[in-house]
Chain A
Amino acid sequence: MRNSEIAISIKHLTKYYDDFRALDNVSLDVRRGEFFAFLGPNGAGKTTSINVITGLSNHQEGHVKIFGYDTVSEYIQCRKLIGLCAQEFNFDPFLSVRQMLVYQAGYFGISSSIASKRAEELLTRFQLNHKSHVKHRALSGGMKKRLLLCRALIHDPEILILDEPTAGCDLELKYLIWDYLKQLNNEGKTIFLTTHYMEEAERLCKTIGIINHGRIIKRGVKKDILQDRSLERVFLEVTGLE
């Protein structure tokens, strides 16, 4: 990993879907060790931004760097550093929970003995060890959410990108996930979180960015942005949804 203090650097990023400009000259830096909340209404460009950062989407203009590595020309180094917890459940229907994690670790060059140990740790941490031999269809929605997190963390990434990780979770699971994310951040991991729950962002994050119509409309340290107002109030004001 390059000795860069900027974990994610986005410069003048523009992304089109045919004629639709999904991202419009987006520039954004997320520092190493930051817990960053990326907020915006539906269709604002949050998931598109994540897809470009992780290399799941192409972009037309600008560039993205992960700890100084370019996501296009140095994509292999970038992918080693990122763990993505996607919004949708996208699991291999042929594999059991445990197999899924061990194979996933394998793609990251982790030997199966280390991967098995790491999978056990994560499954225990997220209370899934009793389901390790079933296929994902046998899991509840909350369990699938936890499995997505386990998969994102299996290679111990420096940056964890979470696309609405607690959507549809009950309170207990939400607290379990929040506690673990705080712990990871305290250990120095950079976390990039998108959520529609303002309480979640307010409680967990140190810095906030708000995107609307593909443009960054607010970016800064939480306390500077809030100034004794709730995040929900700020969000409604800047997005014009009030």
Chain B
Amino acid sequence: MISNPIGVLALSKREIYRFIAVASQTIFPPLISSTLFMFIFGIALGKRIDFGATGFTYLSYIVPGLMTMHLISSSYENTSSSLFISRWHNHIQEILLSPLSYFEMVLGLLAGGVARGMFVCLGVFAVSQFFSQSLIENPFLLIYFILTISVIFSCAGMMSALWAEDFGMLNMWNVYFIVPLVLLGGVFHPVHMLPPLVTIISKFNPMFYLVNGIRYSITGISSVSVLLCAILSGILAIVFFGITVYLFKIGYKLRT
């Protein structure tokens, strides 16, 4: 399936180098905002929130939510900005002229999104240890969810970068679609706390299952079947990856 491993590795290294070179824009902001969220919501307000029935402190409840939120946004932003800028400057031609298969191109571009998402996600967990020390209940499951979620949103970022004609269009999906769904998916609250109708609607929000998957991996507690979360996450990753490879194959907005 991979006939040019050196090529894939070179592209992966370039993508990872790109976000590390601008760490002040890619790594530190989500870590700083997570620290503030944990301090304000977890420490300052969290003590006043009665969370006894869930088996969590409020801080330990929001940490997996924050990890998922930043995993999603970092993966998405990495591939969307990288691919869009390479289309904008037209140095995407470097890749399009190379003997990488379309599968390999997507794999190489994906590496940056996955690496950045994973780095930020685990960074948020590391920061949370300063506020409340906790163990990871299911580390292998956590790796599975981090990988599949980062693949889903790295691919979504690439799709958005191919579709967008300007920076406004590039941000549209994130602002109007991904962020609201993530926040309504239970980052800061159990969905059963919402009005009954909204609780039912939330069950159709895929982010709800992704947040739950990460939360279960860390705490061992979930409000929905973890198997369902894992299957959904895996299927979405495969589907999004397949669509992205297809878009490269037909040259959607890549070839005139």
Contact = CB atoms under 8 A, between A and B. Distances in A.
Interface of A: 17, 51, 54-58, 76-77, 79-80, 82, 84, 86, 88, 90-95, 103-112, 151
A230 to B, nearest CB: 35
Contacts of B101: 76
Interface in B63-87: 85-86
A115 B60 CA distance: 49
B214 interface: no
A107 B93 contact: no
A80 B4 CA distance: 11
Contacts of B251: 58
> Which interface class (under 10, 10 to 19, 20 to 34, 35 or more) fits B?
20 to 34
Interface in B29-54: none
A119 to B, nearest CB: 13
A107 B100 contact: yes
**Interchain residue pairs A-B with the least CB separation, the first 4:** A106-B10, A107-B98, A90-B90, A79-B99
B247 to A, nearest CB: 14
Contacts of A104: 94, 98
B169 interface: no
B192 interface: no
Contact of B89 (A58, A77, A90, A109): A90
Contacts of B22: 94
B251 to A, nearest CB: 6
Contacts of A112: 10
Contacts of B14: 92, 95, 103
B13 interface: yes
B135 interface: no
Contacts of A110: 6
B246 to A, nearest CB: 15
